[in-house]
């Protein structure tokens, strides 16, 4: 990939142009990273009321009973966004989808157990145990560099 920078004293606002013959996964990831829509915090709701949660503090995001929840070291809270909406706005270098119903923070993964049957057990900080579905194993391995 080539990177080109042009300094123009008459330019009032930076403008980024991507020129490519096709949209690849790499281009899509770059666009997500540079997007002004990327999330830094999200509103979450518990029985005590609403609170703002920093994205970096989220261990995992999952669905259960048609609701979306985030889990941090401080507990679990519901969010009003859909899982796919969150995935579109999250930094792909920080979060990876491991199943149809779950996204985990890569930085919160403490260990990965790859069994002979093909299932992947994922242990997050705080001893939280979850599993990656076979459908997402290849994507997960690629993002984690395994």
d(CA 109, CA 129) in angstroms, rounded, equals 10
CA-atom Rg of the chain in angstroms: 18
| Number of neighbours of residue 69 by Cβ within 10 angstroms | 18
pLDDT over 70 (residue 36): no
Task: Report the predicted TM-score, pTM, of the whole model to 2 decimal places.
Answer: 0.71
Cα 94 to its chain centre, rounded Å, is 6
d(CA 49, CA 7) in angstroms, rounded, equals 48
Superfamily of domain 25-144: LytTr DNA-binding domain (2.40.50.1020)
Q: What is the pLDDT of residues 58-94, one digit of tens each?
A: 999 999 999 999 999 989 999 999 999 888 888 888 8
Instruction: Compare 104 and 112 and report the one with higher pLDDT.
Output: 104
The residue-averaged pLDDT of 17-35 equals: 78
The residue-averaged pLDDT of 116-145 equals: 81
């Amino acid at each position: 990939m080539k990177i080109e920078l042009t300094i123009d004293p008459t330019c009032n606002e930076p403008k980024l142009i991507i020129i490519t013959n096709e949209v690849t996964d790499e281009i899509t990831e770059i666009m997500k990273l540079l997007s002004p829509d990327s999330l830094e915090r999200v509103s979450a709701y518990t029985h005590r009321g609403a609170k703002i949660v920093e994205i970096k503090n989220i261990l995992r995001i999952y669905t259960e009973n048609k609701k979306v929840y985030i889990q941090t070291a401080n507990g679990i809270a519901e969010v009003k966004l859909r899982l796919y909406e969150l995935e579109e706005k999250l930094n792909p270098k920080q979060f990876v989808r491991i199943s149809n119903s779950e996204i985990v923070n890569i930085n919160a993964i403490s260990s990965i157990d790859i069994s002979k049957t093909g299932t992947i057990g994922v242990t997050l900080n705080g001893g939280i145990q979850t599993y990656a579905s076979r459908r997402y194993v290849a994507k997960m391995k690629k993002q984690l560099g395994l």
